[in-house]
Amino acid sequence: MAKKIVSDLNVNGKTVLIRVDFNVPMKDSVITDDNRIIQALPTIKYVIENKAKVVLFSHLGRVKKEEDKAGKSLEPIAKKLEEYLGQKVKFIPHTRGKILEDAVKALLPGEVLMFENTRFEDIDGKKESKNDPELGKYWASLGDLFVNDAFGTAHRSHASNVGIAANIDEVAAGFLLEKEINFIGGAVDNPDRPFIAILGGAKVGDKIGVIKNLLKKADKILIGGGMSYTFMKSQGLEIGTSICENDKLDLAQELIDEAAGKLVFPIDLKVTKEFSNESDARIASFDDVQPDEMGLDIGPKTLENYAEILKDAKTVVWNGPVGVFEFSNFAGGTIGICKVLSSLKDAKTIIGGGDSAAAVIQNGYADKVTHISTGGGASLEYLEGKTLPGVACVDDL
């Protein structure tokens, strides 16, 4: 997929609009994980160094009514960005209007401006999220060039990505979006082999498209997390009170048949009687699970088996934790996968955003994998083989 990259643009003296993904977790207006800000820095620094006038914008959370705006301003993020850039970031607490327009016109080459949360435009008719034509045209009018560097929203057709792209002369991908295209797209379409996928999370229904696409591409798919229990029950195994999509049992069996041995399932699990970190737990095989027990993590034999399969892998894509890693007593499987991936030599290890990315970062393995995606939903749709609007809107080379 040959797309125009920011380095293909002549940005000198131009006003460059950059859609970043600064949808970061916050508590009491304090950022608790700034990974997405850090990942956006190469693109921002590049256009600054090349004497562009820089206009940044992002969404933060969901905003449906006026009261939802509380705690959703981008101003704290602008202040954090100043620390990383070592220069002033002028923050405009508006998404449109004369104050914003005058501030953009007053920018000098190398200066940076950030305007307010794009989702504030959703209060009156979801103008941002429904790609209101007038809004996309208005935002495009603020600049000369558009750079989309927000992979986290690339699976959505919004005014701040597709809408702007339709109304401006040149559209390029930022360096982060380029990385996502190359790593996730490249891993699926042209992987070094063996190519192993690890899929976890709660529901089979959320991953049907991913499984079907990866069955055509991967050499093995290792299954974990809550979704594994639907597969196990479909094969007649005892899962007790474990989470299960009973309406997907036939589908699970169809996927097993279609996989022809490519799907690999847990052989033991860590069970307990209550959904609690403090409840007593034990390791059980599937023929030993009691009717009042639920599985909250994979067991040691499963981890050992998965490690054996992974040891020779050249490409690994991981999406979804293999247990309830938020509970320390049931995080062993997920941390174990982190350790295995960190030990692989000469392998591309790609973490597909969302909870699996959080697990890798929180447990200190971020610098021991090849790439951590900044988009959970976007990476899932990319793994399904879908065309992402936020990527498609970037100019082809």
Q: Is 203 a catalytic residue?
A: yes
Q: Decide if domain 6-178 falls under CATH 3.40.50.1260.
A: yes
Of 251-255, 350-354, 377-381, which has the strongest mean pLDDT? 251-255
Of 237, 155, 241, 251, nearest in space to 204 by CA: 251
**pLDDT at residue 125 is higher than 90:** no
Residue 269's alpha-carbon distances to 100, 164, 198, 248, in angstroms, are 56, 49, 17, 21
With the CA atoms of 251, 254, 255 and 261 taken in that order, what torsion angle do they form, in degrees rounded to the nearest 10?
150
Query: How large is the average pLDDT for residues 106-134?
Result: 96
What is the C-alpha separation between 174 and 58, in angstroms, rounded? 14
Lowest mean pLDDT among 95-104, 128-137, 195-204: 195-204
User: What predicted TM-score, i.e. pTM, was given to this entire model?
Assistant: 0.90
**pLDDT at residue 83 is higher than 70:** yes
Q: Is 201 a catalytic residue?
A: no
pLDDT tier at 237 (50, 70, 90 boundaries)?
very high
pLDDT digits (tens, 9 = 90+) for 208-226: 999 999 999 999 999 999 9
pLDDT digits (tens, 9 = 90+) for 148-175: 999 999 999 999 999 999 999 999 999 9
Q: Hey, what CATH topology would domain 193-346 get? A: Rossmann fold (3.40.50)
Provide the residue ranges of all domains of the chain, joining segments of one domain with +. Answer: 6-178, 193-346
**pLDDT at residue 385 is higher than 90:** no
Q: 354, 375, 376, 390: which is the annotated catalytic residue? A: 354
**pLDDT at residue 106 is higher than 90:** yes
Measured from the Cβ of residue 308, the count of other Cβ atoms closer than 10 Å reads 10
Query: How large is the average pLDDT for residues 301-310?
Result: 98
What is the C-alpha separation between 203 and 55, in angstroms, rounded? 39
**pLDDT at residue 380 is higher than 90:** no
| Confidence (pLDDT) at 80 | 96
| Confidence (pLDDT) at 1 | 59
Q: 4, 96, 203, 314: which is the annotated catalytic residue? A: 203
Q: In whole numbers, what is the pLDDT of the chain averaged over residues?
A: 95
| Confidence (pLDDT) at 114 | 98
What is the C-alpha separation between 59 and 63, in angstroms, rounded? 9
**pLDDT at residue 101 is higher than 90:** yes
Query: How large is the average pLDDT for residues 183-206?
Result: 90
Lowest mean pLDDT among 18-27, 29-38, 234-243: 29-38
Q: Is 62 a catalytic residue?
A: no
**pLDDT at residue 206 is higher than 90:** no
pLDDT tier at 202 (50, 70, 90 boundaries)?
confident
| Confidence (pLDDT) at 287 | 93
What is the C-alpha separation between 376 and 114, in angstroms, rounded? 24
Q: 14, 19, 36, 348: which is the annotated catalytic residue? A: 36
Q: 61, 110, 185, 377: which is the annotated catalytic residue? A: 377
pLDDT digits (tens, 9 = 90+) for 241-289: 999 999 999 999 999 999 999 999 999 999 999 999 999 999 999 999 9
